[in-house]
Structure 1
Amino acid sequence: MTATPVRPTEQKYEVKDLSLAPLGRQRIEWAGREMPVLRQIQERFAKETPLKGIRLVACCHITTETAHLAIALKSGGADAVLIASNPLSTQDDVAASLVADYGIPVFAQRGEDSETYLRHVQIALDHRPNIIVDDGCDVVATMVQERQAQLAELIGTTEETTTGIVRLRAMFKAGVLTFPAVNVNDADTKHFFDNRYGTGQSTLDGIIRATNILLAGKTIVVAGYGWCGKGTALRARGMGGNVIVTEIDPVRAIEAVMDGFRVVPMSEAAVHGDIFITVTGNKHVIRGEHFESMKDGAIVCNSGHFDIEIDLKALGAQATEVKDVRNFTQEYRLKNGKSVVVLGEGRLINLAAAEGHPSAVMDMSFANQALACEYLVTNKGKLEPGIHSIPVEADKEIARLKLQAMGIAIDSLTPEQIEYANSWTSGT
C-alpha cells in the first residue's frame, strides 16, 4: 500500500498560476464556514488517519468545496492527486492554493481542452490509485479499458453523479465491474439536498450571471424530472417562471403534473420555451428538429454532467454564424433567420458561469464521499464486486451532525414508542 507512486515525469502539478493561491485560500476558508460536518470528519480523520498509506485519485470539479474534501482526505492519511472532471468548472485560484498551501498535487486548468483532460486522466492513473473518487466515471472506465493490470491494486471507487452511476450499472451488467463501487449519489443526504437544492439554486445562478435576464414571466422548459430536475423546476417557478417539464419516465411525469407543472413532449415544448435547461444525464435531449421550432432568441443550457445533452453539432450545422455575445454566451444564427443562444458551451451552466452548488449542501455530499472512502478501506476484501449503498447509519449521522451545526433539535422515541414500533401484536 505504501509503494512510491509511479509517474512518467517529475511533474508534480499543472495549474494555471501559483500566484493565485492567496485568493484561492481566502475563498476556501470562506466556504469552510458553511461546511461544519466535513470539518468534524476532517478533525476525526486527522486523529485516526483511516486512509494512511492509501493512494487516492479524485476526479472532481475543482472548487472551494472540493478543496475541503481533498484536505479531509489528506488529513486522513491519503496520498491524494486531484484532476478536474469538467474543463469549465475548475477555479484556478483554488487549484493554485491546494498546491501551494496544502501540498496537494492538482492537474487542472479552467478551459483545458479534451486532449489535456485525457492526459490528466492518464497522470491520475499513473498514481496507481487504491481508491478512485470519480465524478462521471471517466477515470474508472479508463482504468477498466486501458489499465487492466492495475485493477488488482484498486480497493474500490466512489461515485456521486447520476451519470456516473448509470455508467457503473452498465459496467456491472457487462461483467467488467470487478471491484466494489460506493453509490454516493443515492445517499439521502446527497440527492435530497445536493441534487435538489444545490442544482436548483446554482443552475439559475449560472443562467442569471451569463445573461442578466429576468426570469419572471419566461417560459422555462426543464428536461428531466429527477432530483436535479425537481430542484430546477421548483426554483424556476419560485423566480416567477412558467415551467414546462419534459420526461420519458411515466412515474416522474405524473409526479411533475401533480407538483403543478405542465408536462409535454420536447417537440411541443420547443415551440413555447424561452429558456431550456437539460438535466437528464442522457445525450441529445435537444436536437436539430427542436432548434428549428424554437422562438427567435431562445436560450438553451445544460446542468447535467456531460456536454452531450444539447446536440451542438446539429446546431452548428444549422447555423450560418456563431458569435460570442457575452461571457459564457454564444449566439447561433440559423439558416431560417432565427437565433438560438447557448450558455456555457453546453457544459454545466452552474459551474461554467457561476460557482457551483452552495457550500452548505456540498458539506453533506462531500461528507458522504469522505465516509465512503473510509468504508472502502475498512471493508477491504469484504465487499463483493458491484455497486454498494452508503450505510444507513452513516447517512443518518451526517444528517444528525448537520442539524446539530444548524442548532436544530429533534425528538427521540420514548421506550413505549420503541416497544410499539417493534411489536407485531399491538394494533389499533
Structure 2
Amino acid sequence: MTATSPRLKHEVKDLALAPLGRQRIEWAGREMPVLRQIRDRFAQEKPFAGIRLVACCHVTTETANLAIALKAGGADAVLIASNPLSTQDDVAACLVTDYEIPVFAIKGEDNETYNRHVQIALDHRPNIIIDDGCDVVATLVKERQEQLADIIGTTEETTTGIVRLRAMFKDGVLSFPAVNVNDADTKHFFDNRYGTGQSTLDGIIRATNILLAGKTLVVVGYGWCGKGTALRARGLGANVIVTEIDPIKAIEAVMDGFRVLPMAEAAPLGDLFITVTGNKHVIRGEHFDVMKDGAIVCNSGHFDIEIDLKALGAKATEVKTVRPFTEEYRLQNGKSVVVLGEGRLINLAAAEGHPSAVMDMSFANQALGCEYLVKNKGKLEPGIHAIPTEVDQEIARLKLQAMGIKIDTLTLEQIEYINSWTSGT
C-alpha cells in the first residue's frame, strides 16, 4: 500500500521501513569512500544550488548515497525507479523520512505505475536528468517538447541508454548534451565486469539455491558484463559456453578459454542461460523447444526484452511460481523452462545489485558528470560527451588512496622520453 506524508510528496511502500533502510544505506556508505569525499566537497561548494534534478535509477542503498551527495550539493532532487523490480522499499522509505528526498518507487510496481512515475519526475521540470536506460529522456523528447529549454543536460550509465541516445542524436532529436557515464573507464571496466559478474550469480543463487559447479552455463553476449559473468561462473566451477554475434568478441572469448557456439547449438546443452546483450529476443521460441527439461533462463541486461517471454508463454500449458522470483513454464512438449525474475535484471530482482565498492566509482562518475554539465552550461554542443579523462583518472586515484594503495609516478627523464620522437634504438 502506498504511504502518504504531510511533509513530502512521494510514493513508497511503507515509511515504517525507514530505520532498516538507514542502517543499510550507512553500511553501503562504508564501502563508498570516493563518493563520500565528493559529497563532503559538494556540501561546501553547493554546485547544484538552484538546480532541479531528476534521477531515474535502481533505488538501492548505493543509489541512496548518490542521492544524498547530490542533495548535499544543493540539488532539488526527485528519485524514481528505473526498473519495477529493483527498488529496495526500506531504502525508498529512508530517503523520504530521513533525508526529505521525494521518492516515487515501489518494488513490483506495474508498468502503468512506472510510466506514471516518469511523468511525475518530468512534472518536476528538471534541469539535469540522471537516466538509467533513457526512459525519462525519451519521454521528455516525445511528449514534453515545451520543457526542452529547461534542460542543461543528462547523464546515462547503461549501454542500453547510450544506444538509445545515439539513435536519438542520429534522428536529430537530441537537442542537449548527454554525458556518457557508461563508457568511463572507472565505470565499465569495474561496474560491468566485476559488479555484474558477482551480482548476477548472487541473484541466481538467491532465487534458486542451485549449485553452479558442474552446470553448463550459457552466457549470451561477451561485452564487459558477459566477460564478468563468464569469469565468475567459471570460478564457481561452471562449464561456460559463450554465444556472440561480434567476431572480435567471439575470438576474445575463445582465447579467454571459453567454448563459443551459436545459440541454436548452445540451447540443447545449457542448464542455465544468462542474457547480457542489451538486445531483443536473443533467446526465442525455437531455442525453448530444444532446451533440456528444467533449463533455467534469466537476464542481466537492462530491459526485460532479451528473453522472448511472449513466445515462451504461448508454448506453455501451465505457469506456476515455485520460489520467489522463480516461475516454471510447463511446455506442450512435456518439458519445463524456469524463468527467473520475470526476465528482468536478476541481480536486482532477486538480490541487491552490484556491491557498494564498485558502485562507488560508477556513482562518482554520475555525480561528477552532473557537475561537469552545470559548470559547462551553454558551452557543450548537443550530443554525447565522454567523461573527461582527468575526471576518470581522479576517481581511480581517490579509489586507490582509499584502499591504501600507492603507485609510481613518472620521473622527469621518463616524461621527457615519452614526449620526444628523437630517441630510438
- Which of 363, 367, 370 is equivalent to 1:366? 363
1:194-248 CA-to-partner distances (Å, cap 9, x unmatched) read 0000000000000000000000000000000000000000000000000000001
2:322 to 312, 320, 325: 325
Residue 242 in structure 1 maps to residue 271 in structure 2: no
2:402 maps to 1:405: yes
Corresponding residue number in structure 1 for 2:93? 96
Q: Which residue of 2 aligns with 1:76?
A: 73
Match of residue 3 from structure 1:
none
Equivalent residue, structure 1, for 2:131 = 134
Q: How does 1:16-415 map to 2 (within 5 A)?
A: 16-415=13-412
Deviation at residue 377 of structure 1 after TM alignment: 0.2
Answer yes or no: is the 8 Å Cα contact 2:134–2:161 preserved in 1: yes
The 8 Å contact of residues 8 and 102 in structure 2, kept in 1 or not, is answered as no
Q: One-letter code of the match for 2:122?
A: L
Amino acid across the alignment from 1:363: D
Q: Following TM superposition, by how much is the alpha carbon of 1:427 offset from its aligned partner in structure 2, in angstroms?
A: 1.2
Q: For the residues of structure 2 that align with 1:93 and 1:427, how far apart are their CA atoms?
A: 62
Q: Deviations over 1:299-324 (max 9, x none)?
A: 00000000000000000000000001
Aligned residues: 420
Distance 1:307 1:217 in 2: 28
Provide the rounded CA distance (Å) in 1 between the counterparts of 2:174 and 2:8: 31
- Secondary structure of residue in 2 paired with 1:271: coil
Deviation track 1:373-426 (CA, whole Å, cap 9, x = no partner) reads 000000000000000000000000000000000000000000000000101111
Aligned to 1:4: none
Unpaired runs of 5+ residues, structure 2, are 1-5
C-alpha distance in structure 2 between counterparts of 1:172 and 1:219, whole Å: 41
Deviation at 1:10, TM superposition (A): 9.8
Letter in 1 for 2:318: E
2:123 alignment partner AA: D
The alpha-carbon deviation at position 11 of structure 1 amounts to 6.8
2:99 aligns to what SS in structure 1?
coil
Q: Output the aligned Cα RMSD.
A: 0.9
Task: Report the AA paired with residue 24 of structure 1.
Answer: G
Structure 2 residue matching 1:272: 3-state secondary structure = coil
The answer for unaligned runs of 5 or more in structure 1 is 1-8
* Other-structure match for 1:421: 418
SS of the aligned residue for 2:406 comes to coil
Return the letter of the residue paired with 1:26.
Answer: Q
- The 4+ residue runs of structure 1 with deviation greater than 6 A are none
Deviation at 1:47, TM superposition (A): 0.3
Alpha-carbon distance in structure 2 between the residues aligned to 1:10 and 1:179 = 34
